[in-house]
Amino acid sequence: VTLKPELASIRTDLGVLVGAEYVLAGAECRAYETDWTASRGLRGKPDAVTFPGSSEEVRQLVEWSSDRGVPLVPRGGGTGLAGGAVPVGGGVVVCLERLDQIIEFSPDQWRLTVGAGVTTHTVKRLARENGLLFPPDPGAAEQSQIGGNTATNAGGPHAFKYGGTGAWVTGLEAVVVPGEIIRVGGAQRKDVGGYDIKSLLVGSEGTLALITEVTLRLLPAPEAVVPLVMFFADTKAATESIRDIIASGIEPAALDYLDARTLELLKRSYPGDVPPDAMFALVSELDGSSDQVADSTSELRELVSPSAVAIDSPSATDLWRWRDGVGNVVAAVRGGKVSEDIVVPPDRLAEAVDEVVKIGRTADLEACSWGHAGDGNMHASFLVDPDDEAMMARAEQASQQLFDLAIALGGSITGEHGVGYLKAGQLERQWDPAALDLHERIKKDFDPAGVLNPGKKVARMSAGPKSGQVTRPSAAS
Amino acid sequence: VTLKPELASIRTDLGVLVGAEYVLAGAECRAYETDWTASRGLRGKPDAVTFPGSSEEVRQLVEWSSDRGVPLVPRGGGTGLAGGAVPVGGGVVVCLERLDQIIEFSPDQWRLTVGAGVTTHTVKRLARENGLLFPPDPGAAEQSQIGGNTATNAGGPHAFKYGGTGAWVTGLEAVVVPGEIIRVGGAQRKDVGGYDIKSLLVGSEGTLALITEVTLRLLPAPEAVVPLVMFFADTKAATESIRDIIASGIEPAALDYLDARTLELLKRSYPGDVPPDAMFALVSELDGSSDQVADSTSELRELVSPSAVAIDSPSATDLWRWRDGVGNVVAAVRGGKVSEDIVVPPDRLAEAVDEVVKIGRTADLEACSWGHAGDGNMHASFLVDPDDEAMMARAEQASQQLFDLAIALGGSITGEHGVGYLKAGQLERQWDPAALDLHERIKKDFDPAGVLNPGKKVARMSAGPKSGQVTRPSAAS
């Protein structure tokens, strides 16, 4: 293999910093060219891929990157849906999976500090085995890592009651440019000593710092958990029931939905019977003490019965496994999906659900949506054939209308997936120019040379990357 | 009255912007020279005091301030305990009390948008009257305003279960330099579209922007609320019980404490009987469904009974009124108190409680502490005579050791009162230099000319204000 001289020297440098066995180059990098946005044709060519083994090695990488001007693209489990981990402009992909230490675990204090590379699944398991709960439940917990979840402020169904990942982060260790380790927050549960840099790094998608360690707050596990699936004959009956549930004072842990087309596609794999006239499903879960859950369950059943066509209570494990599979099942219909996680105020959900289908129809695309009804966070999706370039182009075009829709209803362009590369520039629709300026100035403060995950979480269209290495939207290499 | 020409022109300008009837100058400003830090001798001389009536008028004030280079000092209820609203370097005090509109209230959506000047009490009352709960309960809710609570991320006893004010803020309207209104977040419950500027403004103490409007998330009110006061014969028995309570999986809404001396002082006003051998009290509250609270109450009683000298359950209203009065009762002993709201990891509380008394003894000061045990957030206090300059100086000196203590135990210099002016520079003990740099760069981004609340939330000692107008620590004018 003959490398370009520059690439050869990058590889040599990285070998010195983290050990040659932890550096990939050339064809070995193939798996790191994309993430879960592969089906949307997003792919980049990393100069190298490296696996640092400690916060200090990450620090050295950032120092080296700042000196050499070589971009770093941090990567957790690679399950992002906005292309945050895709090396769109080249650079070195920094995989944090070796930062997998359990650094401190105090179940008695509901407190856990772990390396960024520990999987979300491991965090949840550790909590569970000790009678505790780590509430965030993003869709790919088996693979996704807590560092990536923190960097994207990952959500999930239970964010309705419990908030996103950031709500559970009390402290962070991170490496900032030009190569310094900082700690903000920690084991203390309250801290107003400085500007909230912890919250600023949460959701910053690797563009401000590389998160190396996370301290989490946990909760006692609820005594009882009861899932309830409610089927409705139409969207209107369902969204009125959502309003009634929330207004009643019941506080479900999760309140997800599937629209008519999504339900149709998921019918077959549902762990129970879906009534033939069901055109909308609400997937909820109640948790708390046994008595409380029993009471809320009866109350909820009574409240919803007059307008539902059926109410079912499958096992929680089966139900959430099924729910987790929605994205894949929808994508399988035509081979791919173009999906955006827009947010609307929850009371505007009915309009938004209908509008998504209309936007699809106008673009000659099959459309559907599902997601977190209680939070107004939709996965508004077009079913596409990734090999059909014209269709892909129509879908990417129609996506722009989804963003318009979210803003028109007073919402946000993204509720939990982040901006990544796919939504670069979309914030311009949502924020005032002065707020966009501040977003850009914050980036400049943390990363004046732009070496941290360039092209990601970019606020303005005009500031997008000019990379020739990215293939988008459809012509995947 | 003859004004300095500059002051006269400031007054004229303000009159044009907000109306002459909403501008105070000279002796009329007296009440706005200080806040609840008056007893620590903190006082400044405002050039004028103004009461804008709309976000647009606030915008014009910020524009004018940026043009003229006259500092603005935003003020809510004036109940701050760190001097955040004290015009230490002069400037115009901007009282936000006229921004008192209920802008949108959707009880069915658990959602409330109000002007910054609405009192915390009003927010809590509105919620309560509609079957909802606004959980934050800082100590001066009758007077404090939601804008000030947001700008300081105010806490309170119930922050143990529910978090500080920021946890309930989903959106903000704020005015930034050089005079632009921005909106971040809103009625949507999730949003990862931009860097988390909302969280950055929460707790920024008026140094980055003037908050004009706040959108809050509410919760269904719990069905039952049961307070439990547990008395112990010593600190050790009490802190072991805290550990046992938390480890048991009971999740109290609040878990406050009073140390021996505090309890002695508060004995007389307690709504019930304090056993003669009680040397430590835990003040907790359980909330939830009636059944759940009944279960948790029995469990908690059973758990704590072997080590407590008594367990009492007064009415919640009486109990929290008594608890709210702690600060004033302690201050009344000698006429004042020098108190710092340091935080330690909750499992280090016992050490910290003892150490506070020792620090006091060494400085020949009577010391005590109380606060939010579950959060490790103490109000570590020295009882002082504000007219005794030597004693005040010793107390201010001893305060420095409180900050050292917090850092040594892995905590923070402030959990809920903020940095204000009194803790300016203390962050230097807590954060890495690179993090301090970022704090300072963020300030520069938002406020390059330093017109917003100068001298407040300053990270480094060396960057403190050089104002001659402030009298500190003890020689109150």
User: Which ipTM value was assigned to this complex?
Assistant: 0.95
CB distance B44 to B455 below 8 Å: no
Is cis: bond before A473, omega within 30 of 0?
yes
| CB-CB neighbors (< 8 A) of A182 in chain B | 431-432, 434-435, 438
Instruction: Enumerate the β-bridge partners of residue B214.
Output: B114, B172
pLDDT band at B6 (very low <50, low <70, confident <90, very high): confident
Residue of B nearest to A218 (CA): B249
Place of tokens 């003020």: B75
Q: So what's the pLDDT on residue B329? A: 96
B147 has a pLDDT exceeding 70: yes
Q: What is the pLDDT of residues B237-252, one digit of tens each?
A: 999 999 999 999 899 9
Q: So what's the pLDDT on residue B7? A: 86
Q: How far apart are CA A278 and CA A418, in angstroms?
A: 32
Q: Name the residue among A442, A465, A443, A461 with its Cα closest to residue A452.
A: A443
Q: So what's the pLDDT on residue B464? A: 53
Contact A200 B195 (CB under 8 A): yes
| CB-CB neighbors (< 8 A) of A249 in chain B | 131, 220-221
Q: Is the dihedral of CA B364, B370, B373, B377 positive or negative?
A: negative
Distance from CA of B345 to the nearest CA of A (A): 4
CB distance A135 to A222 below 8 Å: no
**DSSP helix/strand/coil, A449:** coil
B398 has a pLDDT exceeding 90: yes
Q: What is the pLDDT of residues B80-133, one digit of tens each?
A: 999 999 999 999 999 999 999 999 999 999 999 999 999 999 999 999 999 999
Residue A291, burial from CB neighbour count under 10 angstroms (0-12, 13-18, 19+): middle
For residue B470, the tally of other CB atoms under 10 A from its CB is 20
Residue A81, burial from CB neighbour count under 10 angstroms (0-12, 13-18, 19+): buried
Q: What is the pLDDT of residues A356-410, one digit of tens each?
A: 999 999 999 999 999 999 999 999 999 999 999 999 999 999 999 999 999 999 9
Is A475 or B109 the better-scoring residue by pLDDT? Answer: B109
Query: What's the whole-number mean pLDDT along residues A130-159?
Result: 96
Contact A192 B167 (CB under 8 A): no
Q: So what's the pLDDT on residue B189? A: 87
Assign 3-state DSSP to chain A and report helix, strand, coil percentages, each to 5: 40, 20, 40
Contact A186 B377 (CB under 8 A): no
| Nearest Cβ partner for A438 among B167, B410, B446 | B446
Give the list of residues 6+ apart from residue B2 with CB closer than 8 angstroms, or none. Answer: none
Q: How far apart are CA B68 and CA B388, in angstroms?
A: 40
Residue of B nearest to A441 (CA): B445
Token pair of B203 as six digits = 């707790």
pLDDT band at B332 (very low <50, low <70, confident <90, very high): very high
Token pair of B177 as six digits = 């330099």
CB distance B367 to B261 below 8 Å: yes
CA angle B349, B354, B358 (to 5 degrees): 140
Query: What's the whole-number mean pLDDT along residues A23-40?
Result: 94
- Side chain identity at A261, as an amino acid letter? R
**DSSP helix/strand/coil, B19:** coil
Give the list of residues 6+ apart from residue B372 with CB closer than 8 angstroms, or none. Answer: A190, B155, B156, B157, B159, B160, B254, B255, B256, B257, B378, B415, B416
Beta strands in A135-190 (DSSP E): 169-176, 180-185
Q: Is the dihedral of CA B154, B157, B162, B168 positive or negative?
A: negative
| CB-CB neighbors (< 8 A) of B372 in chain A | 190
- What is the rounded end-to-end Cα distance, in angstroms, of chain B? 21
For residue B346, the tally of other CB atoms under 10 A from its CB is 28
Arithmetic mean of pLDDT over chain B: 94
| Nearest Cβ partner for A220 among B110, B189, B251 | B251
Query: What's the whole-number mean pLDDT along residues B27-42?
Result: 93
For residue B98, the tally of other CB atoms under 10 A from its CB is 18
**DSSP helix/strand/coil, B351:** helix
B466 has a pLDDT exceeding 50: no
pTM, entire model: 0.95
Asked if A187 has any chain B CB less than 8 Å from its own CB, the reply is yes
Q: So what's the pLDDT on residue B4? A: 63
Chain A to chain B Cβ contacts (< 8 Å): 283
Q: So what's the pLDDT on residue A330? A: 97
Asked if B336 has any chain A CB less than 8 Å from its own CB, the reply is no
Asked if A202 has any chain B CB less than 8 Å from its own CB, the reply is yes
Asked if B325 has any chain A CB less than 8 Å from its own CB, the reply is no
Is cis: bond before B448, omega within 30 of 0?
no
| Nearest Cβ partner for B193 among A106, A419, A434 | A419
pLDDT band at A189 (very low <50, low <70, confident <90, very high): confident
The rounded percent of chain A whose pLDDT value lies above 90 is 91
Residue of B nearest to A342 (CA): B191
Arithmetic mean of pLDDT over chain A: 94
The rounded percent of chain B whose pLDDT value lies above 70 is 96
Q: So what's the pLDDT on residue A477? A: 31
| Nearest Cβ partner for B193 among A184, A204, A427 | A427
A189, A351, A447, best to mutate vs chain B, most B CBs in 10 Å: A189
- Side chain identity at A280, as an amino acid letter? F
Q: How far apart are CA B137 and CA A431, in angstroms?
A: 31
Asked if A430 has any chain B CB less than 8 Å from its own CB, the reply is yes
- Side chain identity at A328, as an amino acid letter? N
Contacting A residues, span 5-44, partner chain B, CB-CB under 8 Å: none
Contact B106 A435 (CB under 8 A): no
pLDDT band at A121 (very low <50, low <70, confident <90, very high): very high
Q: What is the pLDDT of residues A301-350, one digit of tens each?
A: 999 999 999 999 999 999 999 999 999 999 999 999 999 999 999 999 99
